[in-house]
Structure 1
């Protein structure tokens, strides 16, 4: 069921439901209990979304994105991306499904609930079977009671059943798939005549022509608003020049981190974990008698993936306990140890290879230590200067005085538009890149600087708007020659278009492409055979409108259109249309069928959501969510 639902997980509705199902069935380290309060976050009829439910779901989003990026994903980033609202909608939809199940009188039996929980690997012991102790420990680590987890699991199974019931009635008629596949795979090729605009002769424009062209294209000749400003940058890069990493600091850092900088001994191990000591001893006797280690592991129900532990250090074996880890690292290469008691049962180790540990010297570690110390000192310096800046600003100091107090340069830019360009269209250098800087600049009034502003990356800036040069149209006299170039290019394009239309009419009237091309002083080209689904291959020469016309015309049909480079026009005649046989075994055919299924599935889900929201009373309390997020611990 879940695999089928994943194929349709393109809408936020289904993505949200899957997240709720997967996360609640597989414990992945959600930090609960960080939100509190008795207020209802949302409700559908008499089904409530509690603060605790919202807290777990929101924290899951943070954990998931942090894991995906490898960096901590903050609450501020989540709110800026709208995840707080997405979590709300997922929970509201889940509550609506719960209400629908309630109204239909649906329920999940204890036997089915137990069967579902017993299936998850997270709750299985070393023998591969459900282990009640492992189950309770996993829930305890997440601060969830068995009652709460099992209640939520019942809800989630019901939700999946409802969605599965909707999906079960969806069928994509094979005739539609075949028709769409045949249409997309139809192959065409065309013969064409190119009429380049560069070859067109046009009269010299008069001043009146140029002025009229200028008046009709004033948007083209408009200059955007430009702003002049002063700013101070406070970030790690600026602070780097203000900190000094001494040799004593490096030596002290090395002494404190020597153990973590060194590489521990590592071993390629094989291991068999057996719950019963007697069975473990019997397995060891088989290995001593010449039996293959992995074969004995398979007999004990241990897969090769579980038995083979390459590149393990002692820390990696901590889950087995100190005694077992010590034995694994006391054996000689190639040796098989006697069964040793561990936290998970009796373990038999075999050592395949040993990679000795390495102690990193001070000289070897120095570059990394210098970098780490520099970054740490720069961060401290940044915080000190940020505090100093806030104090100076609170006292009413000018931006110049703030810069002097901080010992930082006050930079000035005479003119920049909202694209970050100067009056010549060149990117303004040394300006903070974040969009927030430009947003702040173009939201200020002249002479204004407010406070230290976060750049959204690794520091702050202080920004004062000095002057505004409003948007304006460039004077005709100043850009007359530019207007002349544009007028001439447009005139040549119009002439090329007119010639292309005349050529097309002659071919439609019975003239051959060759005769029409010869009369125009050019030649006939031929496109490669291209399937409709790959028509974008022609976009290097033909405009989109021309490509669409070619694939809409009948055989021998004549069309004309612009080039993709705006440097002329084409006349094209469809030479051949070849329907391709429908092959239902191809990956393309299966992909098309699947995409149509998903489209119908998502449409069905969206309609069901609309029905639920129209049937039941839905309330949301965004203010409560804001309060909960504000209470979250850093």
Structure 2
């Protein structure tokens, strides 16, 4: 369906529709190009720029996300899959659209941004269950972001989403789109085919030693193994030290008394703060509230602003002076004007819930765990300091471990992407893998390093295997298998070419199949659904549903690494029931309109790039990540002002 819709975007009908949108882009104006190939900016789109540092932050954020999913993205993968280039293209589309919208004056208000931020559960206080400014900033700081950076990003997302949604509003795909899709989905097809495999084609003999040597040299890159390193590791864990910690009842009671205040549930209050522009207005607001007017009415009449707090602790109030005043008031009380840090306000107090402290017994388990962890941490610190001091004085790694009763565990050879020789994936322990590959040579010893979650480790590099292909003798058996498999594929494909040539000259499918002692299999009324149910190979199904009646085809379909091909003919195409097709077309019309809307969004982005003369610097993107740019990229890859979408 998507391909049909995309084909429609090339027609004069769709271009006529798009010219209304495209024309508005062309009249917007231009933006400057990069001053030269030595620019360090990764993207310039109108007045919007993305620096090398910002681009690197985007990639680092993506890598951190995958690490939380147990996957590590190596530099080799970044290059092999052109991740920097793909991310650069997506980011350029977005920044160009934002720059264009900014020129049009499409900018979400600060009030809207803050309202959206306040809806995000990540920023809710775990106690109150509501948005909390401190939690908001702490969560952003843990992701190397400030509130300004996050709000700017959110502003861009909202602006782009609102504009594209508005452009797509009311868009309805022509009924012929859904009708064509429905008719295709209800078609059934008859096909006949036979299969060529090592069973009915003469295979090459066993490879000679010369064959294997030639194959090895020609495919040396395929067998090259990355550098691997083996190490000994000592781990220091708070959990392990906690097992040997003793905690008495007296210890717990002393901790309870010292922590009583912090264990208590804080007092929370519901109140309204009406911020006024000056003292005179504040006095009028106070009088209006005391006269029974609502906070909204009082604020509107005096150019004020209403800020509501619902069962919030004192620490959740943004203005410290307002918070102090509010938590001295009584239920229903209306204050005189209060001079806060951020301006003058009047407070109307609502519900008050007094805080409470837990009993010793109810807090006992929590205190026990906390005290054990605290003492375990002290033991861990003593052990790590003692071991670090021993190494600093020149004591040998293993000897120091024995003297301090520490366990040294051997680690199997590991590659830089965290894969062990046994197939174990160590990439979730990123600090450990990095520590191993930071050691300069065999015998080198690391400092005591953090592993995370109360664990630390120290390393000694015990072995290093440089990258390179293994010796021929070591992989001779595997090479023979690969050689036979590739030669078999070459032979079968060559025979398939001969068979197709014979069919093109007029021989029947049955005659060609018989010459290979293969059986022709005919299948009737194949639909997209039945093709999936019978697990028809994807390559074969693609040819069956893309061929014309009477057309012959060939499709590769290896089975578990064994080469094979299908040679067939599409015998007939049967159209589906017209009534059923009409019903399906009606049901799928919304999906067709949605797909058309997505294509419109793509057109909007491309034309925005033209309008603001967006330009992206591939070389700067790669260098921002410490990578060598692809040779083919040259000094710059850009979306130039005159390019057509």
TM-score, normalisation: structure 1? 0.50
TM-score, normalisation: structure 2? 0.49
